[in-house]
A and B are shown apart, each in its own frame.
Chain A
């Protein structure tokens, strides 16, 4: 089925530069197209420019007016087709604290397990 497979795009939102770069490397290696933002407002700028983001992968604790949870809720309202995956080493979230299309993974995540979660969300 050559040519019918589309590359899926993930937007990473993470304020720690090295962590963001490492995550982006890893997801690119797994075959995703990756966009990067350092906080919620950068993420919104990118989302307004690209209409093909499939999944938002965001840290919860971030500087600025919005944290990752606020961002996820806003994204879910405006772009309901975008899947949401939140991460934190500090907070623990239950499914009912997240918008419908969302999931939570605790930091530090294992690379393979993270990619399985992302593929699972994108397949829904």
Chain B
């Protein structure tokens, strides 16, 4: 025997004649070269097999769980996609109807009604986007990006601003764009982020004051800042703004409180940040992300 052997199979015969297969391991213990002990471990082969069986079962269960989890996440994505599609479809129909009416000759009252309807559709669409993203996040999925640096971002931002202007026809919204460089982003998502920030500024800001937007590519970053006037947000409340269900104290604060939360999630998914600062002069939300991922 060397200093050890493993799993030597033997059979024990019990008094009543039954046989039990056993396995024996042995290890020599030396003290300064002299053998002082030989340790034997004897165990029933059946137990060993049981143990191995248990390990295999555990592995199979773990693999089955991974498969179930994957199927669950596919089902979840499908559910959210179909729900989103079914909720947006009727809105798309209403939007088409509104566009056709706009091409007709309408009375001034008719024009006003059509404008308000358009604003309502924009609000409903934004709400659907935010709720679906929130559900996706809570159900374990994250915000997925469809990045494209080749297409320009500015038309998407302009479209968002014009839609939000239709929601708040009486308000002044000043937008300034300085986007010289390509931005590797999901344009629809960045549009959603701007829509959420602008929607927040319009509902929380002073009604008789303007809202301003600055979008620029500076020093390798995209920076979008949205400012409104009005009562400053207390410092202790600033940190909580991006938590879900936090609602402001503005005139129209009956929303779900998801807009800023989803905006910050979109910022995070792009490797960027969303910060807020507020003083007597203005409340400003600043989104920053690297131009390239």
Contacts and interface: CB of A to CB of B under 8 A. Distances in A.
Interface of A: 16-19, 21-23, 25-26, 61, 89-90, 92, 107-108, 110
Please name the 3 residue pairs, one residue from A and one from B, whose CB atoms are nearest each other, closest first. A22-B96, A18-B96, A18-B93
Nearest to B90: A16
A18 B101 CA distance: 11
Nearest to B85: A90
B159 A110 contact: yes
Contact of B85 (A17, A18, A61): A61
Contact of A110 (B84, B85, B155): B155
Contacts of B103: 25
Interface string B152-165: 00010001000000
Contacts of B100: 18, 21-22, 25
A124 to B, nearest CB: 20
B23 to A, nearest CB: 58
A19 B84 CA distance: 17
Nearest to A107: B92
Contact of A90 (B81, B146, B159): B81
27 contacts: A16-B93, A16-B96, A17-B93, A18-B96, A18-B97, A18-B100, A19-B96, A21-B96, A22-B96, A22-B99, A22-B100, A25-B99, A25-B100, A25-B103, A61-B85, A89-B88, A89-B89, A89-B92, A90-B82, A90-B84, A90-B85, A92-B146, A107-B92, A108-B92, A108-B95, A110-B155, A110-B159
A26 B100 CA distance: 9
Contacts of A107: 92
Nearest to B95: A108
Nearest to B100: A22
A107 B93 CA distance: 12
Interface in B62-99: 81-82, 84-85, 88-89, 92-97, 99
Contacts of A16: 89, 92-93, 96
A61 B159 CA distance: 26
Interface residues of B, number: 18
A31 B93 CA distance: 23
A25 B101 CA distance: 11
A119 to B, nearest CB: 18
Given A25-B103, A90-B84, A92-B146, A19 B155 contact: no
Contacts of A90: 81-82, 84-85
Nearest to B84: A90
B3 to A, nearest CB: 63
A89 B88 CA distance: 9
A11 B97 CA distance: 20
A50 B268 CA distance: 52
A108 B122 CA distance: 12
Contacts of A61: 85
A9 to B, nearest CB: 21
Interface in B84-128: 84-85, 88-89, 92-97, 99-100, 103
